[in-house]
Each structure stands twice: as C-alpha cells, then as structure tokens.
Amino acid sequence: MKIANLFLITTLLTLFTACGGAGGTETGTTDPSNVDTTTAAAHIQNAASALVLSIDSADLSANMSPALNRYLIDGTSAEWDTYTSPTNGVYLSDIFGSETEEPRVVTKVRVLLDSFHSTVESILANDPDLSCTGSTALTGATSTIDIAFYGSIANGTSADPFFDCLFTESDATLLYGSDADGNLHLVEMSNSTSTNTEQPETRGDEVSLYQVISGIFGEATESGVTAAYLDLQYTQATIYNGVDGSYGTDDDNEFKSRSRITGRVILDTAGEPTDSAGDFSIVKYDRSPNPEGTPVETITQSMGRGNFLAGGNSIFRINSNVDALVGLDGEFCLLVPTDGSLPDTDTDTNCTSLETGFAWGSVTFPFDLTPAISATLTDNDFFAGDESELIDDDGSDFTIPTY
C-alpha cells in the first residue's frame, strides 16, 4: 500500500516534459487564467491541506493524552479517545497523516496532494499560458465529458469549454484548461500494472493502480487578500493479485479510497494559508485475504466542515466497521489550540452553526460545485458507506475515456 512504485507521477512527468509532441503539438486557443501559473500548484496543495483534518501518528502516541494535545473536544470525548488510541488511530492516520511519514500509503490525503502538486506543477511549467504546448488542442467541445467513476462532468459551453488541452501517453491521460473567468480545470487519469516488490510472498507478484483526480481552482483578490477556491475530487484503487497470481479472487489485497475537498482559503503573500473554511468527505476501504474464511473488509468513512487551522472550529463525523469502533459514529466539535497546550474540554466551541450552514458562509464560489454540497452536513451523501461507489474489486470497470 506504499506510494513507492504505485503512482505514475515520475514517469508521467518525464513523458510530459520530454515528449513535447506526444499526442500532437497543436496550439489551442484558450481563455487567459486569472491564476498565476507559477504559483498555482503550490497554492492548490496549500489550500487543500488547510481544508482537511490533520492527525499524524505522533498525535496518537501512548505517551500523551491521545490527540487531545491538539484538539478540544465538545461532546463525547471518551469516544474520541477510543478513535485516536494507539490501537485504533491507524485508521485515522492512514487517511489524515503526514505525507512525509512512513508508510506513505496511497490512501493518505496528503500523499495525494503531494503527488497532484507535482503533476500540476509540471503541466504549468511546460505550458504556462495554457496554449496546449506539447499537448493536443481539443476540438468539437461538448457540454459534458465522461470521466471514469464520476460520470459526466460539466465542460462549459462550446464557446467557453473548461478543458482545452489533452495529453495522453501510455496508461495516463491529462485534461486541463481555463474557463472565461480564469478558473483552472484539471483531470488526471491513470491505469497501470507493474511488478510488485512489497510483500510479494503474501500480496502476489503484480499490482495494479487505478486513479482519477478532478480539480477546479480559482483565485480572487478580496479586501486586499488572495482568496483561493478549490473543489478537488479523487478516487483510487490499489489491487494486488495475490499468491494465486490472479485478480478478482479471495486472496487479493485491495486498498481503495474516494475523497472530496472543497472550500475557500485565504493565502498570504507567500502562499501560506491564514484562514480556511471548507468541507471534506472521505471513504477508505481495505480488503485483506483470510486463510481461515471470508476476506476481512475494513471501511472507514469520515466527513468534516469548518476551519482546521490553529484556533479554528470544525465539526468532524466518522464511522467504521472495525469491531472496537462500531456504533461510535457520533459527531465531534473540534478546536485546534493556538499554542499546542492541552485545552479546556469545557470551553464552548460554538460549532452548532456548521451543522446547517456552509463553513464559508454566504460567499459565492467563482465556479459551480458539481455535485452540489448540501448546507446541512448530514445531507451530504456523496459517498456510500461501503465500497459500492469505489472502483470495482477487480478493477474491471475502470476505463480511461477517449476523446
């Protein structure tokens, strides 16, 4: 489940930069971007990081009060202690942990962001004016484009399409462009199979990785500061063929996730977040073979809303089918202390408004959110509570669209 040898980023970026004519060298006519393409990749990564809870394994050390050194809990703090105990905390740190901490599992949100940052940085360095340099200029644009596992996504109008450029090489596809309002639109799809060197004696000699990342990013100057707007969606499946050497059988190891990060972030002159307001939804699915019977399936589903920076208030909901966590699907109100000290758990954290209103208030996004996000947090049913909205177990339904 480690990132090494699974993501195609390094290969893809080399191909994108070196094979300037791959897929065609036409120069398209695109809308100018209001986003500075020299800083956009870093701004996307920084904004997204500020819109998601951060729980590293260091927070879950047995030598400290688990996670309460970072979070004030309003409500069932005993349940929070159970979720963030050293035994159970891996289910959270494998989603919300640092991208620099081993293992760099592909289901960690920050590993995703680190890799997507590299992809976007390479695209914009090679084609800073979004004129399809080294890519194919799309023609005959339609109002929708079919994206694997997301269905049809909006593509603007024939006069103002969101996606202008297509880059295709081997088992990876990139779509990118800018709309008339200057918002960046990016989609990355990859489908690869390679030799497995991680625990081959139990996981098999081959591993397949399928993933789709879809992002919209815009910036605006508001009251003298830079406001970044982001809607990032991601789905992936990492499938090991098992000791029998065949996919789709009971001895496969499978690690899958799907996430969405949406919000508004204020950035300082260095591109660092100083304030944030957003929503996220994540489902993580693991399947391991069981020599004594039915394979073990572990599902962790989480969602949050608010400001996850120091001093920010937020709501966090989570449920899991892990035996020790079944039934502990309550809602937690969190406050990240500003000085790292143990906060007073009786302090009023004032999270009630986040249950029925967007964290960003009445601010209007510079682009449409599709699918729409409900103002009532519990009505956000973007993800199922199981693997039904993830890539199929054997990866058979994964197709990279052809344009």
For residue 326, what pLDDT is reported? 87
Model confidence at 104, pLDDT cuts 50, 70, 90, reads confident
The answer to whether residue 2 scores a pLDDT higher than 50 is: no
How far is residue 145's CA from residue 142's CA, in Å, rounded to a whole number?
7
Range with the poorest average pLDDT among 154-158, 292-296, 328-332:
328-332
Tell me the residue type at 271. Answer: G
259: confidence class by pLDDT, cuts 50, 70, 90 = very high
Q: What average pLDDT does range 19-48 have in this prediction? A: 66
- What is the token pair recorded at 23? 């897929």
pLDDT digits (tens, 9 = 90+) for 76-98: 778 888 888 888 888 888 999 88
Cα angle 107-113-114, degrees, rounded to a multiple of 5: 105
Residue with tokens 């879809």, as numbered in its chain: 214
What tens digit of pLDDT does each residue of 268-294 get?
Answer: 999 999 999 999 999 999 999 988 888
pLDDT in tens, 204-218: 999 999 999 999 999
pLDDT at 387 over 90: no
Cα gap 42→38, rounded to integer Å:
9
Would you say residue 119 has pLDDT above 70?
yes
Q: Mean pLDDT in the chain? A: 82
Cβ atoms within 10 Å of 372's Cβ, excluding its own: 9
Backbone angles phi, psi at 392, to 5 degrees: -55, 155
Task: Give the model's pLDDT for residue 65.
Answer: 53
The answer to whether 214 touches 203, Cβ cutoff 8 Å, is: no
